[in-house]
Structure 1
Amino acid sequence: MSLYDISVKTISGEEQTLAEYKGRVLLIVNTASQCGLTPQYKGLQELYTRYADKGFAVLGFPCNQFAAQEPGSEEEIAAFCDRHYGVTFPLFAKIDVNGPTAHPLYQHLKANAPEGQGEEIEWNFAKFLVDKEGRIVKRIGARVQPEDVAADIERLL
């Protein structure tokens, strides 16, 4: 199965595959609204704004598995992200990233990452950098700031 075959649900509830993002460099991030790392939304939005017209997208996947730091509904999450961080990058419905209920996307990302292969996601705002062909080229820790990924993104664009 390719990354682009995986079905996801948008934050507004529409089912789609990731095929819409084929040919783009992607930064896939599990997010949370009530986390010490939540201010990373600002940096993620800045990356998206800077590189979107060059074929880049941030994909945000809210997750409530870490200390229940994403308890809200999809509507509440979308409103929070818009109000506090002006998020315009695609957000998706809440998912699990670890354990037996992990979403197929995160099963795929963890299984195919060049480093940390198979390891569980450590916390909110863990990141996966994906090239234009859908290959996971880098797994990036939760505490790494979005701006620290800019050079890697530029190399792939």
Structure 2
Amino acid sequence: MHLYDISVRAMDGTPVQLSTYAGKVLLIVNTATKCGFTPQYDELEALYKTYRELGLEILDFPCNQFKEQAPGSIEEINQFCTLNFGTTFPRFAKLEVNGEGEHPLFTFLKSQKGFAGFDPKHEKSARLTERMREADPNFEADPSIKWNFTKFLADRKGTIIARFEPTAALGDVERQIKILL
């Protein structure tokens, strides 16, 4: 399987083949509107505005699997993101990233890049690590998505180059994007 073989749903439910984005550098993110990481929307929008013309696309997939932090309809989520953060990058229908109902996109992404580790310098890393370890002492070996705002970076050919956990500095993400552009 290849990234471009996968179909996702637009906000209105219509299918979108990821091959639509062939030739673009993709940053694929699972998001939530009621999360401590939600302010990352500002940084993501800044990246998008800076690099869109050079070929970057940010694909936003709201997910309500982590403490139900993406409540509401996709329309409500879109309105929240547009009004509060001015986001203009593509947002898709809500989906699941782990478990029985996980979307094939995230099954594929996790098969390409496993858990990358929380950034020890980030203020939320210790609490996330503690929470994960309580649920699974070997959580680091499990490729599952650990929390909202996990990011996967794909090159212009659709190869998954990197995975960034929510605690990763957006400057590190930007450096990798610049290399691929």
The TM-score, its normalising length taken from structure 2, stands at 0.83
Please tell me whether the aligned partners of residues 126 and 142 of structure 1 are also in contact (alpha carbons under 8 angstroms): yes
Once residues 147 and 90 of structure 1 are traced to their aligned partners in structure 2, the CA distance between those partners, rounded to angstroms, is 21
Residue of structure 2 equivalent to 1:81: 81
Residue of structure 2 equivalent to 1:133: 157
Runs of 4+ in 1 over 6 A off after TM superposition: none
The TM-score, its normalising length taken from structure 1, stands at 0.95
Residue of structure 2 equivalent to 1:92: 92
Could you give the per-residue CA deviations for residues 9-66 of structure 1, whole angstroms, max 9, x where no partner exists? 0123221110111011111000000000000000001111100000111100000000
RMSD: 1.4
Residue of structure 1 equivalent to 2:148: 124
Once residues 3 and 19 of structure 1 are traced to their aligned partners in structure 2, the CA distance between those partners, rounded to angstroms, is 8
SS at match of 2:49: helix
Unaligned regions of 5+ residues in structure 1, if any? Answer: none
Amino acid at match of 1:93: A
Residue of structure 2 equivalent to 1:15: 15
SS at match of 2:41: helix
Please tell me whether the aligned partners of residues 43 and 147 of structure 1 are also in contact (alpha carbons under 8 angstroms): no
Once residues 30 and 167 of structure 2 are traced to their aligned partners in structure 1, the CA distance between those partners, rounded to angstroms, is 12
Residue of structure 2 equivalent to 1:56: 56
| Percent identical | 49
Residue of structure 1 equivalent to 2:103: 103
Deviation at 1:144, TM superposition (A): 1.6
CA gap 1:115/1:32 in 2 versus in 1, 3 angstroms:
closer
Deviation at 1:114, TM superposition (A): 6.5
Could you give the per-residue CA deviations for residues 87-111 of structure 1, whole angstroms, max 9, x where no partner exists? 1000000000001111000000000
- Which deviates more from structure 2 when the two are superposed, residues 109-118 or residues 119-128? 109-118
Residue of structure 1 equivalent to 2:133: none
Unaligned regions of 5+ residues in structure 2, if any? Answer: 117-140
Once residues 23 and 135 of structure 1 are traced to their aligned partners in structure 2, the CA distance between those partners, rounded to angstroms, is 11
Residue of structure 2 equivalent to 1:152: 176
Larger Rg: 2
1:6 aligns with 2:6: yes
Residue of structure 1 equivalent to 2:135: none
Once residues 105 and 175 of structure 2 are traced to their aligned partners in structure 1, the CA distance between those partners, rounded to angstroms, is 25
Amino acid at match of 1:21: Y
Residue of structure 2 equivalent to 1:142: 166
CA gap 1:27/1:145 in 2 versus in 1, 3 angstroms:
same
